[in-house]
Amino acid sequence: MMAAFAKANLPIPKLTAIATDGAPAMIGSVNGLVGLCKADQTFPDFWNFHCIIHREQLVSKSLNLNNVMKPVMEIVNYIRTHALNHRQFRNLIAELDQGLPGDLPLHCTVRWLSKSKVFSRFFELLDAVKLFMEEKDKDYPELSDLEWIMDLAFSVDMLCHLDRLNLTLQGKLKMLPDLVQSVFAFVNKLKLFEAHIQKGDLTHFHTLLKASEQVTSAALKKKRDRYATLVANLHESFVTRFCDLQLKRPQITFLVDPFNAETDCLKAPLVTDEAAAELEMIDLCEEDQLKAVLREGTVEFWKIKQNSPQLEWGSVGIFHASLNHSLDVQSMFESVQQSLPLLLSMDLLL
């Protein structure tokens, strides 16, 4: 690794952050990459992040939906992985002629957004699936169980919410403040979902609302209590998994809202002189003409703001702590200001 740095002429003292996939070989405190870098005197202090999108995927797996997941995946695989079954199933849908979708998608684990699409389409084609499995003499009593169908509907809605979050975390030129804002907005949405479910308000769960019309009030209340618990557990998992970003949020928010940031929010490794950074923050708050520039965009603002070395250093440090692909972060840096010293951010995603 050091040879690669030397060959690329990358200045290690200007490292600000290391983003990894969270594997022990990467984050180990002794023999992991992060531990070895911290023990090496050549490296300065730096932030260490676990990739935000990867973390979101790990947290989403804490949603305990195994009672739904197992039969759905078995049925989908039975239909899609056998050419004859797949052709017969599509013919059955065409014969029913009820304006149904034409097919079931195949779930692929490495394609993170496929699961919600599979579940959503499965719910839409539930009657056709049930009829097809009966014709094949495959016994799946869950397909006629109203309470299981409610669990399926809840799974559809929750997976759709998680996939919308995943999509907001992707894309070019996504900065760390954008990702953090999306994550914690979703954390607050989970609190809202829990409160609404407890009150019996299924406004944000359209599929579940449709399925609940077929069950008794007592059964619905029992299921609501379970769903509220699942959402609460998911909320707790998000809070635990992203607690490090919550602690760093004052520094992260500085990039997009420097006028309302605390004067002492910039700490090492984002700045080399914390005292000078505090004075520059006070000066910045009085530059009223720059407030209009900030409304035009964060990048445009930091292109113009050139007379505060510590703030410039801190802003580019946060730019380069963004946990997106290295090429996107590099192009973002170049669009900020060509003359700023290069701050190295290693995006070590496997």
Q: Can you tell me the mean pLDDT for 170-175?
A: 78
Give the residue numbers spanning the domain of 41: 13-50
Residues 235 and 125 both lie in one domain: yes
Residues 301 and 186 both lie in one domain: no
Residues 97 and 147 both lie in one domain: yes
Residues 69 and 175 both lie in one domain: yes
Cα distances (Å, whole numbers) of residue 147 to 37, 153, 228: 53, 10, 16
User: For residue 322, is pLDDT > 80?
Assistant: no
Nearest to 72 by CA among 113, 102, 96, 105: 105
> Are 177 and 252 in contact, with CB atoms under 8 Å apart?
yes
User: For residue 340, is pLDDT > 50?
Assistant: no
User: Could you tell me whether strands 47-50 and 345-348 are parallel, antiparallel, or unpaired per DSSP bridges?
Assistant: unpaired
Domain end point (choices 244, 276, 302): 244
Q: What is the pLDDT of residue 243?
A: 93
- Between 271 and 214, where is the model more confident? 214
**Which pLDDT band holds residue 316 (cuts at 50, 70, 90)?**
low
DSSP string, 269-299: TT-S-HHHHHHHHHHHHT-THHHHHHHH-HH
The predicted-structure confidence for 46-76, as pLDDT tens digits, reads as follows 888 888 888 888 898 888 888 999 999 999 9
Q: How many domains does the chain have?
A: 3
Residues 258 and 126 both lie in one domain: no
HSE-up (13 A, CA, CB side) for residue 60: 22
Residues 76 and 197 both lie in one domain: yes
User: For residue 119, is pLDDT > 50?
Assistant: yes
Q: Is residue 3 part of a domain?
A: no
Residues 73 and 207 both lie in one domain: yes
Domain end point (choices 200, 217, 244): 244
Residues 97 and 148 both lie in one domain: yes
Residues 206 and 306 both lie in one domain: no
Q: Is residue 202 part of a domain?
A: yes
Three-class SS state of 12: helix
Q: Is residue 303 part of a domain?
A: yes
Q: Is residue 348 part of a domain?
A: no
Residues 82 and 186 both lie in one domain: yes
- Between 182 and 308, where is the model more confident? 182
Q: Is residue 196 part of a domain?
A: yes
Q: Is residue 70 part of a domain?
A: yes
Residues 269 and 237 both lie in one domain: no
Residue 64 C-alpha from the chain's centroid: 18
Say which DSSP state 136 is in: T
- Between 171 and 137, where is the model more confident? 137
User: In whole angstroms, what is the distance from residue 217 CA to residue 52 CA?
Assistant: 40
Residues 123 and 19 both lie in one domain: no
SS3 assignment for 63-120? CCCHHHHHHHHHHHHHHHCCHHHHHHHHHHHHHHCCCCCCCCCCCCCCCCCHHHHHHH
Three-class SS state of 9: coil
Q: Is residue 74 part of a domain?
A: yes
Q: Is residue 163 part of a domain?
A: yes
Domain end point (choices 244, 263, 294): 244
Q: What is the pLDDT of residue 209?
A: 95
pTM of the predicted model as reported, rounded to 2 decimal places: 0.82
